A and B are shown apart, each in its own frame.
Chain A
């Protein structure tokens, strides 16, 4: 059976890691390749890079980061941030990314999903959704790093995006993000049950039980985390052993 994927996420600004591993002595903690190698060796199932640069130079630097990582790490890589057209998909895939995630631009131009899917295949088109819970029970899609409300329902958007060609959904709960109190299970479950593609749960991971819950109760296919791995609060192997102990199929390399 397919293993549940455990995915660390690194934030990169102008080609430098700004949110990454800081519990081991690194020669250069800002070097994305050095960070990627550590997660590669630790047994991460995929690696996710989020480009938070705002400049054209930053975008170019990101492609360079991906190609250097691909030179040294034989593992799957997803990259997102600032992807606005088919040419961005092409540039990042040619640099060595396996999947490219798109967020704000897909909200603005949903046809970007179908264009990218027909050119490169759905398997490499990831839709990132940042969602916030409302008191009356619905989840609203936000764009531009969580700053801009769209009025769109997250579940309806996920369904539409998949119909247009998205092959995976990276679902971040803005309410849970940074709390370490666990993933937003109702949100994860609602989206996962609504779509036929895999869903990556993101936002709120604080311990390995949260990851078990995201899969068992949230029906996620994969779990993403950043700070708990970067700060060494949890190591990949411990997380996976714990998940295996709770009946999940994981890859122990």
Chain B
């Protein structure tokens, strides 16, 4: 099985690559993990991971700048229905649009809703933004038994590092939330497409477990 991490010049892929290799090894899965910026290689993936760090518009531009990349990703995730995982901004890119720096940029539109600036409040006081640190993973009822979250419980904490979040999403696609002055979308899932707002590759044991779980989905 070939797992491809899309390299589109958006931040560090080393952590994601290492975390996936280790997760595959720990789960006894013989996946071949590779990083590629070639649409041909991406198109041949059995499993596809779209990471992303930074600004939505920048990431979208970098992705668009590689000729044929969005087509290749869409082919694997939407036409072939292979397991797809977006992480952080890679998850946000699945939404219909992203607002950042006063402009609106279109996303892939595979998941309902848009990416907007967080304005968390508690007891009439604004909470700190970015949302930075370890927060609880609260699984939606419909996804509580999803294999993605096997080994997680109500006290599982994962690492978040973001100032924008998904709003106006479809409840049926929201797999998990976290609590930061109200609900923040932590994970989305629509058929074979999974998106994680948090960083599983930085979430120590529980993050490794979630990656292993995702890797065991059938392509």
Binding site for B on A (CB under 8 A): 1-5, 40, 45-46, 67, 70-71, 74-76, 93-99, 118-124, 167-168, 196-198, 221-222, 251, 253
B167 in contact (CB, < 8 A): no
Contact A222–B180 (Cβ < 8 Å): no
Binding site for A on B (CB under 8 A): 11-12, 14-15, 18-19, 22, 53-55, 58, 89, 101, 126-136, 157, 159-163, 179-180, 199, 201-205, 207-208
11 further interface pairs, Cβ-Cβ under 8 Å (given A2-B180, A5-B134, A95-B12): A2-B160, A5-B132, A5-B133, A71-B14, A75-B204, A96-B15, A121-B89, A121-B163, A122-B130, A221-B133, A253-B205
B89 nearest CB neighbor, chain A only? A121
Chain B residues with CB under 8 Å of A94's CB are 11-12, 14
CA distance A75 to B101 in the complex (A): 29
Known contacts: A3-B157, A70-B15. The answer to whether A120 contacts B54 by CB under 8 A is yes
A71 nearest CB neighbor, chain B only? B18
- Which secondary structure dominates chain B's binding surface? mixed
CA distance A115 to B132 in the complex (A): 21
A252 nearest CB neighbor, chain B only? B155
Quote the shortest CB–CB distance from B89 to chain A (angstroms): 8
CA distance A232 to B179 in the complex (A): 34
Contact A119–B58 (Cβ < 8 Å): yes
CA distance A67 to B15 in the complex (A): 9
CA distance A97 to B15 in the complex (A): 9
Contact A253–B133 (Cβ < 8 Å): no
B155 nearest CB neighbor, chain A only? A252
